Amino acid sequence: MTMQARHRLPVLVAFSSLVFEAAVLACEYFNGGVPSHHLLDRPDFPAISNWFGLAVLPLLGWLLGVRLRNHLTASTGSGLARGMWAGLVCSLLYGAAMATLFQLGMSAVLSGLFFGLFLLAALFPVYRVEYIFGFVVGMTFTFGTVLPTLVAVVFAAVSVVVHFVFRAALSAIRSAGRKAPTDRPFKQTR
């Protein structure tokens, strides 16, 4: 990929995200109207319209494009790391599975997947934008863009705490254990 194409990558991904979101909203508009979703699926909480997705998904796409551009600029090879693709695809499939289970009314399995996100946030760096973007796109057809983004940001925060704070504390404890000073000097033997 040329240097000029790399610099256009954030705009290209943001524009593609805008086109995708516009297509989803057009389908909704011509099939009964663009819905709004209540926070936590409770009618007494505020509703968020899917129209906000026209701003949210392109923003996430732009952030993903910046990450891709930076990765391509920093890497010596021409391809993307498998980890980035795996994170994007797996989170997209996970979000789509959760959305499908919600549509099918399989709340017990959906609850398991939802609470499984805490474990996944501890094991994988879901704070990265490719995870967030994939998860949001996977859930867009069912929940719009804004609510999945809010959910993804919560789990991203959990992931940041686990990956940086917990690991830094664990590393400090391990290094302190290795450097433990002794109380008395060694005895010399004759």
**DSSP-assigned letters across all residues of 86-147:** HHHHHHHHHHHHHHHHHHHT-HHHHHHHHHHHHHHHHHS-TTSHHHHHHHHHHHHHHHTTHH
**Plot region of 33 (φ>0 → left; ψ -120 to 50 → alpha; else → beta):** left
Nearest Cα residue to 129 out of 53, 68, 55: 68
Question: Does position 100 have pLDDT exceeding 90, yes or no?
Answer: yes
The average pLDDT across 110-116 equals 93
**185 inside domain:** no
User: Given pLDDT bands bounded at 50, 70 and 90, which one contains residue 184?
Assistant: low
User: Given pLDDT bands bounded at 50, 70 and 90, which one contains residue 71?
Assistant: confident
User: Given pLDDT bands bounded at 50, 70 and 90, which one contains residue 83?
Assistant: confident
**12 inside domain:** yes
**9 inside domain:** yes
Nearest Cα residue to 33 out of 57, 52, 50, 55: 50
pLDDT of 179? 65
Question: Does position 183 have pLDDT exceeding 90, yes or no?
Answer: no
The Cα 131–Cα 149 span in angstroms is 11
**Domain residue limits at 134:** 3-178
DSSP state of 34: -
**190 inside domain:** no
pTM of this structure? 0.83
**24 inside domain:** yes
**17 inside domain:** yes
Question: Does position 186 have pLDDT exceeding 90, yes or no?
Answer: no
**183 inside domain:** no
**189 inside domain:** no
Question: Does position 122 have pLDDT exceeding 90, yes or no?
Answer: no
The average pLDDT across 92-119 equals 94
Number of domains making up the chain: 1
Question: Does position 35 have pLDDT exceeding 60, yes or no?
Answer: yes
